[in-house]
Chains A and B, each alone.
Chain A
Amino acid sequence: MPLITLDPTNGPFGASRTIAMAPRPATLKGQTLGIVANGLGRSEVMFDALAEQLTKWDDLAGAIKVVKPSVAVPPWPEQWAEITEHATVAVTGFGGCGSCSTRSMRDALDLEAAGIPAVCLVHTALVPAVQALCRLVGAADYPFVVVEYPYNPTGMWSVDECNAMAIDVLDAVRIRLTA
């Protein structure tokens, strides 16, 4: 007689539903960049440098930045309201642990759901975690920007590294945020 047992999980890993991506503008000219920073290390410096580069080369209208209250939680409601009221495109991240990176990915997906084109910056060491989170919430193919070594994953970069990283990711961020 067979032994019948039960599935201890919530079902197959990977939801069948999908998250729709927000419509992309043709260019970043005149757009306002929302920055949802997790506050790790000098990630704010990197994001500021990125905004500066996009303003210089793409005629970005401006940037608005929020730093979340903890590295792996959503923004406070008032931060979320500030971003969604003013930003027309957005970046999230960056650096740190599995929970920080996956939460930043979730921030990007929430922005897409709010109609704001977004991109999450992810260190290559955390790519499997972020991909798992995307599968889990029904966004398996959601594109993101990968930062490679020699930048370390945990956000303790020098100011020079922050500036260099912003230039390194510039093209990829532009591609992800535009049609």
Chain B
Amino acid sequence: MTVTSETFSHDGYAEAVEAYFDAGYTDGLPVIPPTAEATEAMLAAAGLDGPEVLGEVPTRNIAVTAEKAAINAVMAGCLPEYFPAVVASVRALLQPLANCHSTTATLAGAAHAVVVNGPVRERVGIVSGQACMGPGFRANATIGRALRLVVRNVCRTVPGVLDRASFSWPLRYSFCFGENEEYSDWTPLHVLEGYERDDSVVTVMSVMRLLQATEFAPESEAILATISETARLYGMLTDAFVGDARSVMVVVGVEHHRRLLDDGWTKEAVRETLFERMTKPTLGKYDSEVILAEPANVVVVAAGGPGMAQSQLIMPHLAAPTHERV
């Protein structure tokens, strides 16, 4: 397996790190200098040849190859065993309904959540529990970062150029977490999407807003009401391109999850109820309809740690959640 990318020569490691800053190849943080050996180890871990095309951004005439994804995964700090998940997230982002050009060049500054299901979580250490959306976990941090570096370096989404975000936001550094499939017998996201439980699957979801739904009341009714009211603060319009695939993601925290279980709520029943409430007609500026086609468009995921009685809502940009097997 031989890589074919152009090479750069540096006097040493520190010089290489600085050279990548100078060339504009980083997200503002230092990167691991990508050697041929490290890149080939990534490709070997995924069983891919460098020239294999993972997907394209047609508006930009860009094709993302496995080799370029591997180089950026090295730079992000990934271990080789993470690379299959990186490949799946790149492929998911480059599916048409992920609308890569729109979600990465927008003034609104959308980010992307990478949600991982299946055995790969345990195999490589993707965290789904306490603090899973934040810093501290190499697999979460570097898989999410690798996707963003591909978006930057291969898809050319650089601030001031094709990244036109007026503010941008911290989720664009990295945003990857697992679903906590072990907490209860709720059906995992990938199984609801038609995969086998033993499959490992990545879901990529554009993130226009990340809203916290905090409800301390113990009643399931109050929890579901607060989640739907939070989604309705801004509502969501239709988009003819995304069509019936337009979805919101509800990441149910442990305290809410526990109380819902106590009252016998399945994941399927939760999404049915939230769909019904979110899609009621608009009543005012901060009580707006979330226009969805069916209950399956309320994508319910379990994650997070104990303590705070909170769930998270991921409201999308002009894209649908897309899935790829790892």
Q: Residues of A with Cβ closer than 8 Å to B?
A: 2-11, 13, 15, 68-74, 96-100, 102-103, 106, 126, 128-129, 132-133, 136-138, 153-154
Chain A nearest Cβ from B148, distance in angstroms: 12
Q: Which of B25, B33, B164, B242 contacts A98 (CB 8 A)?
A: B164
How many B residues, CB 8 Å from partner?
Answer: 53
Q: Assess whether A8 is in contact with B25, with CB atoms less than 8 Å apart.
A: yes
Chain B residues closer than 8 Å to A11, beta-carbon distance: 6
B197 within 8 A of A: no
Q: How many A-B residue pairs have CB under 8 A?
A: 143
Pairs of residues from A and B, 7 with the lowest C-beta to C-beta distance, nearest first: A98-B164, A70-B241, A69-B240, A99-B105, A72-B102, A97-B107, A69-B241
| Given the contacts A4-B35, A97-B105, A97-B106, A70 and B162 also touching, CB distance less than 8 Å | no
Q: Which of B5, B104, B240 contacts A70 (CB 8 A)?
A: B240
Q: Residues of B with Cβ closer than 8 Å to A?
A: 3, 5-13, 15-16, 20, 25, 33-36, 39, 58-63, 68, 71-72, 75, 99, 101-108, 149, 153-154, 156, 160-165, 239-242, 318
Q: Which of A8, A13, A100, A102 contacts B72 (CB 8 A)?
A: A8
Extra contacts besides A5-B20, A136-B61 (13): CB < 8 Å: A3-B10, A3-B16, A3-B35, A4-B8, A6-B6, A7-B7, A7-B71, A9-B25, A97-B164, A98-B105, A102-B105, A133-B162, A153-B107
Q: Assess whether B99 is in contact with A4, with CB atoms less than 8 Å apart.
A: no
Q: Which of B9, B154, B241 contacts A10 (CB 8 A)?
A: B154
Q: Assess whether B5 is in contact with A7, with CB atoms less than 8 Å apart.
A: yes
11 A-B residue pairs with Cβ-Cβ distance under 8 Å, sorted by A, are A4-B7, A4-B8, A70-B241, A71-B318, A72-B59, A74-B58, A74-B59, A98-B163, A99-B103, A102-B105, A128-B160
Q: Assess whether B102 is in contact with A71, with CB atoms less than 8 Å apart.
A: yes
Chain B nearest Cβ from A174, distance in angstroms: 28
Q: Assess whether A132 is in contact with B107, with CB atoms less than 8 Å apart.
A: no
Chain A residues closer than 8 Å to B162, beta-carbon distance: 98, 102, 129, 132-133, 136
Chain B residues closer than 8 Å to A5, beta-carbon distance: 7-8, 10, 16, 20, 33-35
Chain B residues closer than 8 Å to A72, beta-carbon distance: 59, 99, 101-102, 105-106, 318
Q: Assess whether A6 is in contact with B71, with CB atoms less than 8 Å apart.
A: yes
The residue of chain B having its C-beta at the shortest distance from the C-beta of A105 within the complex is B59
| Given the contacts A70-B240, A98-B162, A6 and B34 also touching, CB distance less than 8 Å | yes
Chain A residues closer than 8 Å to B8, beta-carbon distance: 4-7
| Given the contacts A8-B75, A11-B6, A97-B106, A2 and B11 also touching, CB distance less than 8 Å | yes
| Given the contacts A99-B105, A137-B61, A132 and B10 also touching, CB distance less than 8 Å | no
Chain A residues closer than 8 Å to B154, beta-carbon distance: 8-10
CA distance A99 to B7 in the complex (A): 32
The residue of chain A having its C-beta at the shortest distance from the C-beta of B61 within the complex is A137
Q: Assess whether B163 is in contact with A8, with CB atoms less than 8 Å apart.
A: no
Q: Assess whether A8 is in contact with B71, with CB atoms less than 8 Å apart.
A: yes
Q: Assess whether B102 is in contact with A96, with CB atoms less than 8 Å apart.
A: no
Chain A nearest Cβ from B78, distance in angstroms: 13
Chain A nearest Cβ from B255, distance in angstroms: 37
Chain B nearest Cβ from A75, distance in angstroms: 10
Chain A residues closer than 8 Å to B61, beta-carbon distance: 15, 136-138
